[in-house]
Amino acid sequence: MLRDAGIDHVIAPPPIDDAALPERLGDPAGFTMAMALFKAAQIQPVGEDGWVLAADTMAHDGKALIGKPRDRVHARQMLTQWRGGAHDVWTGVALVQPSTGRRWIFADRARVTLGNLADHALDAYLDSDAWKGKAGAYNYVDRLDAGWPLACDGDPCTVMGLPMRRLTPILLRLAAPRGSPC
């Protein structure tokens, strides 16, 4: 997504495995922002004035935050829960410049509706293991491309893990030369 927006970057995954975290109660915006900030703190920027961008995405079923499925059974439970209804997907973002302490932290929400997905389509997807490592047990674009009855109210990029509608203007502003009037 960053490359598509014309933003140069280096990928450096944080040395933590957030898939093992239990489902959480509470504020989805606050939790995802805190996780993004925690991830950002694990990474050293490239260059003296470099910025670190980290994000965390979780689904929310109205009661609890839902992260990545533990196993196939858990993935089935998640997708069955989403089928025929809507759920929120939250992505928290932390953009930090360690050398100055400057930072932007925000969360964005998109509401995803999954229509009546046929059992055979669900089973084929679960057999593919494509659900592994995916918050809410699915990748939005992959499932749209596969013909799943999905709709998104909000930024689809939020569902994919990086809310580009909000993030791009911030990144472009940071990339502007010093002294620029914008």
Kindly state the tokens that stand for 92: 């928290």
Q: Is 56 a catalytic residue?
A: yes
CA distance 37 to 14: 11
Q: Where are the alpha helices (DSSP H) in the chain?
A: 28-41, 72-82, 119-128, 140-145, 156-160, 164-175
* Cα four-point dihedral sign 38, 73, 141, 154: negative
Catalytic residue among 18, 27, 56, 88: 56
Question: Half-sphere exposure of 49 toward its Cβ, with a 13 Å CA cutoff?
Answer: 3
Contact 32, 56 (CB under 8 A): yes
52-60/102-114 β-pairing: unpaired
Which residues are tagged catalytic? 56
